[in-house]
Structure 1
Amino acid sequence: MCKTRENREFADSPRYKARIGLDPFNEQFQMSDLGPLSYFLGIEVSQTANGCYLSQSQYIQDLLARSALSDHRTTATPMDLHLKLRPSDGIPLDDPSRYRHIVGSLVYLTVNRPDIAHAVHILSQFVSAPTSVHFGHLLRVLRYLRGTSSQCLFYARDNPLQLHAYSDSTWASDPSDRRSVTGYCIFLGSSPIAWKSKKQAAVSRSSAEAELRALATTTSEIIWLRWLLADFGTSCDAPTPLLCDNTGAIQIAHDPVKHELTKHIGVDASFTRSHCHQKTIDLQYVPSELQLADFFTKAQTQEHHRLHLIKLNALDPPPPP
């Protein structure tokens, strides 16, 4: 009798239904079991006892083959330090289609390569009329990828399901229109799950204003990720730490008395302040040398670039089993 009951319980279990094709997904959709995930849309997945490694090494090799580089040089960083590109730099390319094709491929590559996000953001601004100078810096990114094609992002199995984020901006960094760049990076445990490098839509009149715009953008992404985790059954009752290296922006976001000083950015300031009061985010100060979002707003020295990669869990691939 006991054995019969055990068999009946096993027959009703999701494991048994999945084995015979009766799990809820198979009841609603036609699908096949392809085994453990190893490759999806150009992303290679290597699963180990400690966690998962995600890479796009084959995608990079295919891109390098299509680009037909004439040399075998590599570079340690994807972009020159203090680089300021303008639309008028260099001679217009006779055929810009190659530039556009490579930049489009690099935009997809940033899904798994945060280290080239800022460089691709800069180069993608010139796809309408690229020049020889822009193309030269594009080749530098390709040479960087050639030397780091095997780099992986590591996601540990024992990662705590807690969010924390970094937000930063560079004030009036674009030499053409003086707009600032927003950069953020959001972590789940010790692994990055969202990052962005993007020019702001309006000109900021101070560094604090640029930082407030960046905080509002990062807060919006945090809210969405908290909703997503809640849909997956992970509660986010505690506020998400949001680290910023600008004390002026933090004070404005906390203190409504400073409203008179921020009328021109009142929406972003009020939005960030409201979520501070609702305990959605917890604004905290971080020294500039520990600001990981700085990686997404400007080019780095070779030493800082390597340090940021370590903090972003961008590692060498695991040894073969």
Structure 2
Amino acid sequence: SVVTTAGFSASAHDPALFIHLSPRGRTLLLLYVDDMVITGDDPEYIAFVKARLSEQFLMSDLGPLRYFLGIEVSSTSDGFFISQEKYIQDLLARAALTDERIVETPMELNVHLRATDGDPLPDPTRYRHLVGSLVYLAVTRPDISYPVHILSQFVSAPTSVHYSHLLRVLRYLRGTISHRLFFPSSSSLQLQAYSDATWASDPSDRRSLSAYCVFLGGSLIAWKTKKQIAVSRSSAEAELRAMALLTAEVTWLRWLLQDFGVSVTT
């Protein structure tokens, strides 16, 4: 209520996003519990909002965005970089790997894991914690999206085989800890989207896998790997399900970008 009384309106497309429009420009406020990001092209209103919120809450102004919810942001004259290097360091420390090995890929080719592979872990808590951390890390690391999707299917009853594949992902991250997403300032405002599907790829239930990626200009802004909820009766049906999943995402992204004041072409 404090945010709305300051003049913001809640976005209809993201419950954590608030928008203020004035003749001087657009201001955006992103709120997650007690962390927030304020940006826009109306510096006078931004200063007013900071003062207004400081009257209601104990706040610290951390200056230009550098770190938010485990995500590191850096900028140059060419654009922005987003990464989670510190998050990976903390994750590797918690995992306490007993060797210094690194691997070139997060998962081997043509691996089809089953629930019955290996021996049940005596305590699955560690597996669950690490997979949960990897799920959040995949927010900025599309290269681990697929293996994390696979590993997350076994959190209810993980086995020694599943855990060994989890360790492989961690060893891959150790060798690629400095990988970052780059968003060039000169990028075009054209949305490009691609989807794919693997028909009946899971041998345990023959459900297919959907995957997509979305680019704004030359920058990757959205990606997903998801098992389809029903068995597709043909490869064409599997591809159509993947396209439907992508269409919903692109529609939402267009609405969200409109909230940002960004007019895109497709």
Normalising by the smaller structure, the TM-score range is 0.7 to 0.9
1:36: Cα distance to partner?
1.2
Aligned partners of 2:74, 2:192: CA distance in 1, in Å? 25
Q: How does 1:206-217 map to 2 (within 5 A)?
A: 206-217=234-245
Matched residue, 1:127: 155
CA distance in 2, matches of 1:82, 1:108: 25
Amino acid in structure 1 at the alignment position of 2:92: L
Matched with 2:91 is 63
Structure possessing the higher radius of gyration over alpha carbons: 1
The aligned length equals 222
Match of 2:126 in 1: 98
Q: What does residue 165 of structure 1 align with?
A: 193
Instruction: Give the SS at the match of 1:29.
Output: helix
Q: Is the 8 A contact 2:189 2:263 kept in 1?
A: no
Deviation at 1:174, TM superposition (A): 0.5
User: What is residue 226 of structure 1 aligned with on the other side?
Assistant: 254
- How far is 1:161 from its partner? 1.6
CA distance change for structure 1 residues 29 and 146 in 2, over 3 Å: closer, same or farther? same
Counterpart code for 1:26: K
Structure with a larger share of its residues in helix: 1
How far apart in 1 are the matches of 2:136 and 2:222?
Answer: 14
Hey, what does 2:17 align to over in structure 1?
A: none
Match of 2:9 in 1: none
Partner Cα separation in structure 2 for residue 65 and residue 86 of structure 1: 28
Aligned with 1:198: secondary structure?
Answer: strand
- Please say if 1:194 is aligned against 2:222: yes
Give 2:180's aligned residue.
152
- Displacement of 1:232: 1.9
Mapped contact 2:196–2:211 kept (Cα < 8 A): yes
Mapped partners of 1:134, 1:17: distance in 2: 52
- Match of 2:62, SS state, is coil
| Deviation (angstroms), 1:146 | 0.4
Question: Which residue identity lines up with residue 152 of structure 2 in the other structure?
Answer: S
Pairwise CA RMSD? 1.6
**Structure 2 vs 1, CA of residues 68 and 187 (structure 1 numbering), >3 Å: closer, same or farther?**
same
* Cα pair distance change 1:16/1:122, threshold 3 Å: closer
Structure 2 counterparts to residues 1-321 of structure 1, below 5 A: 14-15=42-43, 21-22=47-48, 25-26=49-50, 29-30=53-54, 32-236=60-264, 238=265, 240=266
> TM-score of the superposition, structure 2-length normalised?
0.80
Aligned partners of 2:196, 2:99: CA distance in 1, in Å?
36
Give SS of 2:114's match. Answer: coil
Q: How far is the alpha carbon of 1:33 from its aligned partner? A: 3.4
* Unaligned segments of structure 2, at least 5 residues: 1-40
Q: 1:17 to 1:119 in 2, by over 3 A?
A: closer
Quote the Cα distance in structure 2 between the aligned partners of 1:149 and 1:45: 15
Task: Check the 8 A contact 2:201/2:209 in 1, yes or no.
Answer: yes
Looking at structure 1, the residues matched to 188 and 53 of structure 2 have their Cα atoms a distance apart, in angstroms, of: 32
Pair 95,29 (structure 1): closer, same or farther in 2 beyond 3 Å? same
Name the aligned partner's letter for residue 80 of structure 2.
Answer: C
Aligned counterparts of 2:42 and 2:161: Cα–Cα separation in 1: 59
Q: Judging changes above 3 Å, is the alpha-carbon distance between structure 1 residues 112 and 17 closer, same or farther for their aligned structure 2 residues?
A: closer
Does the residue aligned with 2:91 lie in a helix, a strand or coil? helix
Name the counterpart of 1:287.
Answer: none
Deviation at 1:32, TM superposition (A): 4.9
Q: 1:101 aligns to what SS in structure 2?
A: helix
Contact conserved, 2:211 with 2:224, CA < 8 A, in 1? yes
Query: What's the CA shift for 1:234?
Result: 2.2
